Structure 1
Amino acid sequence: MSEDLVDFWFDPGCPWAWITSRWIVEVGKVRPITVNWREMSLAVLNEGQEMSEEYREIVELGRGTIRVFAAAREAAGNVAVGDLYTALGTRYHGAGGLFQRSREGGLTDWRAAMEGLAPVIAAALADAGLPAGLLAARTDPGWDDAIHASHALVPAGKQNQSLIGVPTISVNGHAGQFGPVISEIPVGERAGRLWDAFRVLATEEAFFELKRVTDRADPRTFPEAP
């Protein structure tokens, strides 16, 4: 089986992107893939879109974190971005994590979470072996051009990215796919089988969209205790 190149766009604050990213990590254990981790900002993605003021503020609060990823990419490359995503995402979405505690509290709790984010990012940078000084990118809008450039790499044809979200995945350069959105992290051959099915759709030029009509389950962003 030949190796597949997976481009994976993520916003570290999104629990659904986190679950899908951990699935991709599991896929890498059972299928030959190489992953390019690419930053994507929900704030940038929703520029000019209609949304509630509360949601707009929530996504804007996360913009600074994506700047740190852009700075990490310039400093140390793709592998470092993936390592930072793992380190920070675990702190966000793991058991008792920062966003796990605030997710149901609305804007007030989200603001409080973001106010306490700097030391969390600093610890994640240390875990990923990255310079502590990259934290300064969080408040530097000079990195926003790099974030827009990352968005522009999504193969989107004439849609101009109007239909994508996080996560977005491109397989071997084919059109970017929003999703798959899954509610838990498959492991082992379960992860591999889901990849096999997704890969067929993601590389089929005639495929456009697939949606499930039932309610979406709550996101389980970390494995259940045995």
Structure 2
Amino acid sequence: MDVAPERDLTVNWRSISLLIKNKVEPDSEYYEPVSATHNMLRVMEAMRAAGAEAAIGDLYTDLGQRIHHRQQLMDIDLAAAVAATGADRSLAEAANDASFDDAVRAETEAGLALVGEDVGTPIVAIETEPGSWQGYFGPVISPAPTGEAALRLWDNLVGLMEFPELFELKRTRNVGPIFAE
């Protein structure tokens, strides 16, 4: 998020459901956590539908910190988290509303259409010319750079997007996630 104001970027936070993408079945050990995050995406799509799209990034950031930094996935008060963004706390009721699943599915499919099925999250996409998008899985970087380093990373990622024939850069992770507090 250090990059957006420095590069005059508009960030559009989109949903990608691992429940949908990975076709997780109820008997899987992963079903409970991916269902919980899927329900959070329902809330984000309810926010988008209600005109509170500007608050989605704040909710994503808050939920990401709670899930990944503090391991609170199953203990999140969604209504309080939504209210903390300035959006109507009643939008959290969408967590249990399957009518938002079509929107979550459409968002997931749109993201995967840019990068393919054999990736995870995050997906970063930029509009390379009006109506034409280029996307990649990643970057997965730990710890996340800040300041000038974040700007260099972004500029280099954008530079790589000039090569639509580039498909993969990867190395094996040798450390676990490192989160700045």
TM-score (norm 2): 0.85
Equivalent-residue separation in structure 2 for 1:167 and 1:138 (angstroms): 22
Q: Distance in 2 between matches of 1:141 and 1:177?
A: 29
Q: CA deviation at 1:64?
A: 1.1
More moved, 190-199 vs 32-41 = 32-41
Q: Deviations over 1:154-179 (max 9, x none)?
A: 2736x7x3123210111114332110
CA distance in 2 between counterparts of 1:148 and 1:209 reads 25
Give the 5 Å matches for 1:31-70: 31-47=7-23, 53-70=28-45
Q: How many residues align?
A: 176
1:209 to 141, 150, 168: 168
For residues 1-226 of structure 1, what are the structure 2 equivalents within 5 Å?
A: 25-47=1-23, 53-94=28-69, 97=70, 99=71, 113-114=73-74, 116-117=75-76, 119=77, 121-154=78-111, 156=113, 161-172=116-127, 173-213=132-172, 215-223=173-181
Identity across the alignment (%):
38
Distance in 2 of aligned mates of 1:178 and 1:92: 20
Poorly superposed stretches of 4+, deviation over 2 Å: 29-32, 55-58, 86-94, 152-157, 173-176
Q: In 2 relative to 1, CA 133–73 (structure 1 residues): closer, same or farther, beyond 3 Å?
A: same
User: SS in structure 2 opposite 1:33?
Assistant: coil
Mapped contact 2:79–2:89 kept (Cα < 8 A): yes
User: For structure 2, which runs of at least 5 residues remain unmatched after alignment?
Assistant: none
Q: Distance in 2 between matches of 1:136 and 1:56?
A: 20
Corresponding residue for residue 4 of structure 1: none
Normalised by the length of structure 1, the TM-score is 0.69
Q: Alpha-carbon deviation of 1:62?
A: 2.3
Once superposed, what is the RMSD of the aligned Cα atoms?
A: 2.4
Query: Where does structure 1 lack aligned partners over 5 or more consecutive residues?
Result: 1-24, 103-112
Point out which structure has higher relative CO (alpha carbons under 8 A, 6+ apart): 1
